Amino acid sequence: MSSEYCIPDLIAKKRDGDELSEEEIHHFVKASYSSNGASESQIGAMLMAMYLKGLNREETVSLTKAMLSSGSSLTWPEEWQGSVADKHSTGGVGDKVSLALAPALAVCGVKVPMISGRGLGHTENPSALVLDVKVGKAAFATTEERAKALAQTMVGICVGLGIKAVALITTMDAPLGKAIGNSVEVAEAISCLNGRGPEDLKELVIEQGKYGGGYILEALNKAESQKAGAKLIADALENGKALQKFCDMLKAQGVSPDLAKNLCTRDADPFSILPIAAKRFDLLVDKSGIVTVIDALVLAKVSHKLGAGRSNVADKVDHGVGFVLDVRVGQFVRKDDKWVTVYHNGNLSDSQIAELKSALEINENGSTADKPIASRIFDVIDSRRRNSIFVGQ
């Protein structure tokens, strides 16, 4: 691949801690997917150099622009311009907030592509973006400092690309909600749209609607203010319109109309409709006390081993595998209470049971009264201000 830039020289430049220009970054990205461009080892070396030496804001925006222009980009009808937004999370255990928030935004006139992990072959050109940056032992960012830096960086990239954005920093030490898995999480999201579901999940959906959804509606001129936008989101969740929009989304993606209707009626029990693994195993509490820890990372690892995720591209995901919790952090439990149900199709080994047991920690000397559910949001970064607008109030 002939060019004035030499890939080894660019790698050495970044290795030595120097700044790469926008042209150099675009050349590297283009060479990365050209048949006669950079080799896999060169791509790996450059990525390692970028990781070890870091990228400044200009380099980060340039890299993002280069990646955006490297493949196919979805285009929208003219009448959609200025109405496309999306919501993405850095990933968490039991995180199904988007499944409830997206249809609520759609009810309010926002076009929400919701292109997720397995479908990221295209970029989507949104006008506004809500980012949920997780922090905790089961998150990409394990400390508050790293999470805030990541949130500010991501919002900064959006500013550099002309996208209005808000990043919510939310905790991910314990699972979000009670369901962990594929079918069980969808079922819980539908329950939330029905006005049911775990309080921490409903709280986070409402709070993300308040700070994220309200922000989007104001930014896209769908509401006069963020507060007015937050009320529109809350109304859509409360009056059943978000649930009906979710039903429409299911049918648009090929779900049979009868199944979609059965899932989305107000009195539906989605857990009895969706395919959930036939085998179940209940784990019991071994002592009375206040639940202090439900280790989301441990639960995620075991669910992965049981088939809820994939280690290789060719692995088949078992959508029926999952966990449903009966307890939350801060809850008082008694010995022999059930704290989690494991749904599985294969064998559940003794070592996996031991791992699951290690995820629950109980303080025997605490109060016998349940503690209130703590808010999961502790900070919000707004692209209009580029600083915190929320400090856990």
Angle, CA of 190, 192 and 196, to the nearest 5°: 115
Which residues on adjacent β-strands are paired with residue 171?
135
Please give the average pLDDT of every successive group of 10 residues along the chain, which has 393 residues.
78 96 94 85 96 93 89 80 85 86 91 65 63 90 91 89 88 90 93 82 79 86 89 89 94 94 90 93 95 93 91 85 94 95 94 96 82 75 57 34
Say which CATH topology domain 7-70 has: 1.20.970
Range list of H helices, 33-143: 40-53, 57-68, 97-107
- What distance in Å separates the CA atoms of residue 149 and residue 16, rounded to the nearest whole number? 23
Query: What's the predicted TM-score (pTM) here?
Result: 0.83
- Asked whether 356 and 343 are in contact (CB, 8 A), the reply is no
- Asked whether 244 and 308 are in contact (CB, 8 A), the reply is no
Q: Give the Cβ contact number of residue 368 at 10 Å.
A: 9
- What pLDDT, on a 0 to 100 scale, did the predictor assign at position 387? 47
Structure tokens at 160: 């550099």
- What pLDDT, on a 0 to 100 scale, did the predictor assign at position 120? 39
Structure tokens at 261: 């209707």
- What distance in Å separates the CA atoms of residue 72 and residue 124, rounded to the nearest whole number? 9
- Asked whether 194 and 80 are in contact (CB, 8 A), the reply is no
- What distance in Å separates the CA atoms of residue 83 and residue 230, rounded to the nearest whole number? 17
Question: Cα–chain-centroid distance for residue 79?
Answer: 29
**Which amino acid does the sequence have at 213?**
G
Say which CATH topology domain 274-363 has: Aldehyde Oxidoreductase; domain 3 (3.90.1170)
Q: Say which CATH architecture domain 73-268+378-382 belongs to.
A: 3-Layer(aba) Sandwich (3.40)
Q: Where are the domains of the chain?
A: 7-70, 73-268+378-382, 274-363
